[in-house]
Structure 1
Amino acid sequence: MLKFFRKIRKNLLADGKFSRYLLYAIGEIVLVVIGILIALQLNNYSEYKKERDKEIVLLVNLANEIGLDIQQIDNNTQLSQERLSRLDSILQLLQQTESIDKSSFIQQSFEFVIDQYFKSNSGIFDEAVSSGKMSYVQNESLQQNIFDYYRNAKESDTDGTTRQITDESITPLFIETLFMNPEGFSSLGLDVQSISDLRSIDLEALKTNRDFWKMVLLKFGSNREQMARWEQIKIQAQEVKRQIEEELNNLD
């Protein structure tokens, strides 16, 4: 091909047709420029395609990660609701204290010191932020919403407050009102009746024990506050996941 063009140039110059040669030279330059532009365009498209492929992989992983958060919240909420329901059933037994098996009552009451906690599955997001991969997300609004979701999910202090209430308030009250008696130790497989002067638990007196009802109030209040907070996070998670899936449809 190059020999062909050289031959044309040589013939034009030999014939003295300079003006035609000039037009030919300009045409050749134009063809070269067009070729370069096409090559650049193809290269740019190739790079763009690579960036979009990376964006798709990242968005798919983020959608899956947020989906795990939603599943965790659903699971935590179900477990917490079931636990509160069982504790409510235990409290209802106090209407007829004479028919209660004390050791069984105390053993079931251990659920007062058990809680669920939410921890966002943020491994993909954290890695993307630290490596700069979040820049793959071209939709700036979506990118901001993803950041807002994880900041909200990770900075919630509700679970921390619940843990503190359980550790610092509910557990001491549980030990004092329900556990410091022979039946309490018996629930752990320890028989201390012959070596201690602990009195058997008085379930009738428990009904008017303000510390006991304070424990009940703290437990139900903190757990219900948790579930309300989880629901807020879940709603935001569902919306961001929907936006990601919509963006993925646009990128296909």
Structure 2
Amino acid sequence: MADDNKPLKYMRYAIGEIVLVVIGILIALQINNWNEARKTKQFEHDILSDILIAIDENFARLDRSFTCNKMAIESADIILNVIKKNLPYNDSLDVHFSKSLQWCSPSFHNSGYESLKIYGRNLITNDTLRENLGIYDAGWMETLAQRQEDFFYYTASPILVEYFEKVAMRTEMKPFDYKELKNSKKYISVLKTSKAYREDQVKWHEEWKESLENIYKMIQRELKNQ
């Protein structure tokens, strides 16, 4: 057309071709963006579903921990009451000597959240939910568990072996000399400290469970809206 002295028509034709190509590229890019957004949304959905399943499992683990630690507190109270009232020895106390020392620190299942950290927490589009999920990084559950272990193995055990034939949780512990045990300030201190640690653990586990319940409801709403 340019050879036939029709440059204007040629320019229009060329511009039209360019416009069509650009439109095609933009459409392709938009489709690609839609596909990527859909994949990302699906991945977010899968991650949240995994976290939801894990929270269900963690509820059960927390409940077992509550039961274990509350039993320890009850046994400690029984022994402290016997000592306070200066009651005579009974072999039924042997199980309480042992139970008063037990503790449970649940190992939480967080595989969904670990996957989220690898991909990046910004995957979660709900700002409030993303912020609340940060509870998994707090670290205080691990600190509580470590404090229990350190106290038992490094402080309590060296004292307890002086007063009991054996030191073992979830079995029976028979004292060498019950009268000496009752009058031992060290043993009473171990008992009261152990009880205080269990009470702290129950308190923090209850707060943890409440936080998990809130996150659980938020995830349910988020999944429902997707």
Q: Aligned pair in 2 of structure 1 residues 45, 78: CA closer, same or farther (>3 Å)?
A: same
Please report how far the alpha carbon of residue 91 of structure 1 lies from its aligned counterpart in structure 2 after TM superposition.
4.4
**TM-score, with normalisation over the residues of structure 1?**
0.69
Please report how far the alpha carbon of residue 29 of structure 1 lies from its aligned counterpart in structure 2 after TM superposition.
4.7
* Contact 1:113/1:171, CA 8 A, preserved across alignment: no
1 CA distance for matches of 2:62 and 2:130?
23
Secondary structure of 2:161 counterpart: helix
Could you list the runs of 5+ residues in structure 1 that have no partner in the other structure? 1-11, 182-186, 190-198
Matched AA of 2:184: N
Rg (Cα) greater in structure: 1
Q: 1:142 aligns with which of 107, 111, 129?
A: 129
RMSD: 3.5
Secondary structure of 1:219 counterpart: helix
1:237 aligns with 2:224: no
Matched AA of 1:237: L
Deviations 1:219-252 (A, max 9, x none): 21111111122223223323333333333233x2
Aligned match of 2:69? 80
Aligned match of 2:189? 214
Aligned match of 1:59? 48
Bigger helix share:
1
Q: Aligned pair in 2 of structure 1 residues 51, 127: CA closer, same or farther (>3 Å)?
A: closer
1:161 aligns with 2:136: no
2 CA distance for matches of 1:23 and 1:110?
93
Deviations 1:154-205 (A, max 9, x none): 664222112212222332333323x159xxxxx689xxxxxxxxx96234x5
Aligned match of 1:48? 37
Could you list the runs of 5+ residues in structure 2 that have no partner in the other structure? 167-171
2 CA distance for matches of 1:160 and 1:241?
27
Q: Larger deviation: 46-55 or 88-97? A: 88-97
